[in-house]
Structure 1
Amino acid sequence: MICEDQLVINKFVKEASKYTKLGEVADYIPALKTADPDTLSFAVFGETSSCLCAGDSNETFTLQSISKVITLALALMDNGVEKVFSKVGMEPTGDPFNSMIKLETHSPSKPLNPMINAGALAVSSMIKGENVDEKLSRLLRFVQDLAEDSTITFNDMVAQSEFDTANLNRSLCYFMKQHGVIDDDVNTLLEFYTKQCAIEVSCSQLAKIGFIIANEGKKLNSNEQLIPTHISKILKTFMVTCGMYNASGEFAIRVGIPAKSGVSGGIMVSVPNRIGIGIYGPALDERGNSIAGMHLLEALSNHYNLSIF
């Protein structure tokens, strides 16, 4: 099994690392520009209580859009399925993750799904808490519980960099507020959202979170239910249909496993009832996914028959 094959993993990571030269780090968020584009690290968790790693699996990076999966889980736990999906849809989109076009052309004017920016902002507005600090504290505790690490926090510099350059997300918020999708003060919501995206994890921690989702919300070798089973199924479904931006369809065909990427270069993978995987490779392709990470996952899926299809 994959958790026992260190030499195979090392080989695949080395081969995938060649693709970093073909990508570029995200530059529209100034604080992400400093990432080393040659980095590629990997961790897998599950099957056994140990975590198999390659590269610097303890290097931290910000969740960015991977946080959308975790906040969706918490919002569903806070509000229930019916309320959440009264504000955000369940359909994939072929448009870029930060596009406004579907908000303008669909009726009612609610985001198509929780994995695009508009949908994630709507979901974040539903996290319970009296203020940003309370909402963030609840979210951080949730992430810490999933990753089994109470030291996890957010990167204030990255959060501020995102907040200062969030004009498109502000536009999405104002549009949704005009149409009754959100009620929050826009800048207050954006402060929470940018801090949410700036939560820092390592590949090893990300693999553990991915495993919880893969394992129907339960911890390894334990009956402790951190995410209700029906919610973990919803998360995996969105990861398959919408998790890799507008490359999700191709990824489903080539790789065939639930995954969510972020523009920091992270990818979280949940192979149902088997394993969780965390990848960090900040060199991105034109759609915003880790270019080496995508090649690595395709190789792993083919070798270990990980596809759910």
Structure 2
Amino acid sequence: MAAKGNKTIIYAALGANAAIAVTKFVASAITGSSAMFAEAIHSLVDTGNQGLLLFGLRQAKRPASPEHPFGHGKDLYFYSFMVAIIIFGAGAGFAAFEGIEKLLHPGAVEVSWINYAVLGAAFLFELFAWSLALKEFNKVRGDRGVLETVRRSKDPTLFTVLFEDTAAMVGLIVAFIGILAANITGNPLYDALGTLAIAAVLALTAVFLAIETKGLLVGEAADPKLVAELRALVQAEPAIETVNELLTMHFGPHEILVTVSADFRNDLTAEEVEDVVAALDTKIKAAAPDVRRLFVQAMDRADHRRARLAQAADA
């Protein structure tokens, strides 16, 4: 997905969450609802998270340097991981604290149309932001399932905003149920339980996002389909006897490192091998524009096997 598309959904989510957070804080102060207060914190955290994602996108665009020869693409993965940590710590943690506090020291939840008006308006804003995120997500999903697309995606903004907005809408529904039950029964316990349920929703969202972004931060290979295509392209080169190994790693959503170990024909001169490598570089980057760097190692197949066996023995 294009960087422009990413920024569009992030800005939409940021604007919606900032406006919603203010109205929720006001409604919470007027009515005394802990569920509404937890939702206000949720929206405030989401606003900060969108800011972090935008900052990560900017940092990731910095050019390569001697200290970072492969660029700064993984900065986006780092800040996406930070988003998950903040959702868990600031969002789920504070909501859980507020819910427990209300359980221990319950207070009346004022019956007011303000809560319902704010929740309804917030849901519409979140639904708008969610629909934009879903539209961008579906552009790359194709006929794959949602979870498979998330696992295969190398762009954390693709799924982070979508799942944040999904969690926000679920939280609004939970808050509505908790406040409504408290108003109907006159028992503030339901409001406190709603707050704890919101904390659980945030915690589950944070854990899921942390697992997915942690894999990207550590280093993930390119899509298996792309890897197979690149291997076939290299193997089709007449000068190459065998492709010993082809490894890939994402240094950013659109920055792939490719390393190839290949057994070249023994009758080739060093100059001819250089020509083949140059031709491969051109072909691979034309077939896969996200490949930014290609390294080719010329190694006999038997030598490669021995090197891998020695490496496995040392592990």
Q: TM over 0.5, yes or no?
A: no
Higher helix share: 2
Higher relative contact order (CA 8 A, sep 6+): 1
- The structure whose Rg is larger is 2
TM-score (norm 2): 0.24
TM-score (norm 1): 0.25
